[in-house]
A and B are shown apart, each in its own frame.
Chain A
Amino acid sequence: MAYLELKNVCKTYGQGNNSTEVLSNINLKIEEGEFVAIVGFTGSGKTTLVNLINGLIKPTSGEVLFKGEPVVGTSHKRGVIFQNYSLLPWLTVYQNVAMAVKEAFPKESKTEIKERVVSFIKMVGLSHAIDKRPKELSGGMRQRVSVARALAMKPEMIIMDEPLGALDALTRGNLQDEILNIWSKDKRTALLITNDVDEGIYMADRIIPLKPGPKATLGPEFIIDIERPRDKTKLNDNINYIETRNKIIAYLMAIGESRKSVSNTEYVLPDATPKSFVGQF
């Protein structure tokens, strides 16, 4: 039995003539302790997929099973880091995290809750900003709060919806390492949604492309066979990395092309493999 399993999941928004089938026949299995990344184009239905898994929305047909049980509503066992950080602007960093901790550990005493909140804020390196409100923080700092809030609830599985999409490259790299650090400490199951292939390869055990919508389905999986901890600076010399990366990009470009010209069923794969500029500057 897989830890998380999606069986023939379809999701249609709207009704009658106005309906669009965003996701169609999604089948996905994730094992315990795995780190899986899903890459896809903007608007292909990645957030919809995440919301199906975390229980914010219900599938139109098919089943979402978490540890063998159908997902009904949200659960503290599945922590979510939203695409936009979704902090509550009228609460301080401490209060934002504390709100989650109080809900996840209702039996803990005030001091225990306080300790937990403070330790997670420390973990994401925001102790100095603990009493600030979101508007006083940079994008990267806000995302750290969002990470701390999700992790402080000690979820068994952590679901991240393009968590670093809005950040600049440097902050992004830092946070990638931090998330990996946290994940490797107690090997929780992780699902990462991203639009950045490099990010997926650097972080995940498996990458699964989501084809462009409507009626998006999952493509073939790509196993990332690079041993951890991975060294970003040496990835470009890793033959395994380059091969996997090229395969994924070629695949994505092909399905991207096919989306542009649906009538033209025949498409030519580009001869040239994309050149990587990572680490050259």
Chain B
Amino acid sequence: MKQEITLKKQHSGFAFFKQIASIVKSKFEKDAVSKSLKKTAITIVSILLFLGLWHLGSKALYNKEAAYRIEKALEEQGPAAADAERACIASGESRCQPNTLPSPTQVWASFMSLIADHHLIQAKKDAFNLKMESTNAKLIAQGKKAIVYTGRASFIDIVLTSIKTVFAGFLLALIIAVPIGVIIGLSPSLRSAFNWFIQIFKPVSPVVWYLLVFMIVKTLYIGASSDNAFVISFVSVGLCAMWATLVNTAMGVSSVDKDYINVAKVLKLGTFQKVFKVILPSSLPLIFTGLRITLSVAWMVLIAIELLAQSPGLGLFVWEEFQNGANDSNAKIIVAMFVIGIIGFLLDRLMLTIQQMVSFNKNEGI
């Protein structure tokens, strides 16, 4: 009985604190909410401003090209042809539209059509798979390869290919650069031995990496029927992007705080323990800084390398649309540009979050 009373008392006291806490919290939240509202408003305004300027710019370019076409028709074929040209442009017929920077609405329409196209292709693929289900089951039972859909890739497939390539390249960079960086970082003599190598290969352009990888992979894959565009592009991306991780890892490992090393010595940690329990954890923040740079470099060079390697990703998509010169090609290129930018931004955010999770302030333990 007595216990119950004290319990209740505690409860009411607790409730009182809770109330205060919630009042304080709501006040803080109000502040935070109004701040974030303001931030959002500013972002929205700047986006609208950007779209407006873009719209005006593309309109001016459109008018300029239209005027030039009418002028040209007038000079070459006389006033009747000029009138016909003017009417044709005004009618919006795709045959005689000026081919210039697309407006925001055109880009949006292109984006929607790419998505619709994706659904269409997806439906075809599903139908194909359904039809081939029994045949494929038989083929597999006989130990043969199943027949897969080989139609045109949709925009989403293209984006996924690019993402797959960039992650494969990133993993390759990680697997090569981190261990080598650790080994170089641990030994000053190896560091000076490798220095010239790093200095020379770091600034090499993605195109050259591609050619190098192409020479090697082509020979390795001689006779193999499978397409090696994917292998070539992810290996080139990895080799091109790994240098930041290599340099940062070596730097992190070689500049571990003296205090931590002293702790390792006083505790008499073995070499293995010293590396894995002290040196590596203390260089993790720098390693992840390097990995973040590597991922953004990988994404940036990916476009050029996919183009060269004819790998069915965004790079090739952009190039083919440019070559294609269809009416909405320019709009599709701009769509690809935004998709590339947004994915790059998201990848960087992802790495930043991981980086913040593993980083610590040097003075935290001191």
**CB within 8 Å of B: which residues of A?**
54, 56, 73-76, 80, 82, 84-91, 99-100, 103-104, 133-135, 142, 153
Contact = CB atoms under 8 A, between A and B. Distances in A.
Interface of B: 259-260, 262-263, 265-269, 273, 277-278, 281-282, 284, 360-362, 364-366
B269 A86 contact: no
A88 B365 contact: yes
A103 B267 contact: yes
Nearest to B262: A56
Contact of B365 (A76, A85, A99, A153): A85
Given A88-B278, A90-B284, 20 more contacts: A54-B266, A56-B262, A56-B265, A74-B265, A75-B268, A82-B262, A82-B263, A85-B365, A85-B366, A86-B260, A87-B366, A88-B282, A89-B365, A90-B281, A90-B360, A99-B277, A100-B267, A133-B360, A135-B365, A142-B365
A89 B282 CA distance: 8
A74 B268 contact: yes
Contacts of A135: 360-361, 364-365
18 contacts: A54-B266, A56-B265, A73-B265, A74-B265, A82-B259, A84-B259, A85-B365, A85-B366, A86-B365, A86-B366, A88-B281, A89-B360, A89-B361, A89-B362, A91-B281, A100-B267, A134-B365, A135-B365
A86 B267 CA distance: 12
B266 to A, nearest CB: 5
B356 to A, nearest CB: 13
B287 to A, nearest CB: 13
A84 B266 contact: no
Nearest to A166: B366
Contacts of A90: 281-282, 284, 360
A128 B365 CA distance: 18
Query: Which of A89, A91, A100, A133 has the most C-beta atoms of chain B within 10 angstroms of its own C-beta?
Result: A89
Given A90-B281, A90-B284, A84 B268 contact: no
B268 A76 contact: yes
From DSSP, what is the main secondary structure of chain A's interface residues? loop
Nearest to A87: B365
From DSSP, what is the main secondary structure of chain B's interface residues? helix
A225 B129 CA distance: 95
A89 B259 contact: no
A104 B266 CA distance: 11
A212 B236 CA distance: 61
A37 B84 CA distance: 104
B365 A103 contact: no
A88 B268 contact: no
A102 to B, nearest CB: 9
Given A88-B278, A90-B281, A90-B284, A80 B361 contact: no
Which 5 A-B pairs have CB atoms at the shortest separation, nearest pair first? A87-B365, A89-B364, A135-B364, A89-B365, A84-B366
Nearest to B263: A86
A99 B267 contact: yes
A80 B365 contact: no
Contacts of A75: 268
Contacts of B268: 74-76, 103
A74 B267 CA distance: 8
A80 B364 CA distance: 19
Contacts of A103: 267-269, 273
B344 to A, nearest CB: 30
A143 to B, nearest CB: 11
A240 B266 CA distance: 38
Contacts of A86: 259-260, 262-263, 365-366
Given A99-B277, A103-B267, A88 B260 contact: yes
A90 B266 CA distance: 18
A90 B281 CA distance: 7
Nearest to A155: B266
A167 to B, nearest CB: 14
Nearest to A88: B365
A142 B366 CA distance: 8
A6 to B, nearest CB: 19
Contacts of A84: 259, 366
A226 B350 CA distance: 63
A134 B362 CA distance: 11
A134 B259 CA distance: 15
B291 to A, nearest CB: 17
B251 to A, nearest CB: 18
A84 B259 CA distance: 8
B201 to A, nearest CB: 32
A191 B361 CA distance: 31
Contacts of B263: 82, 86, 88
B358 to A, nearest CB: 8
B69 to A, nearest CB: 66
A74 B266 contact: yes
A74 B263 CA distance: 10
Contacts of B281: 88, 90-91
A91 B277 CA distance: 9
A157 B327 CA distance: 85
A84 B281 CA distance: 19
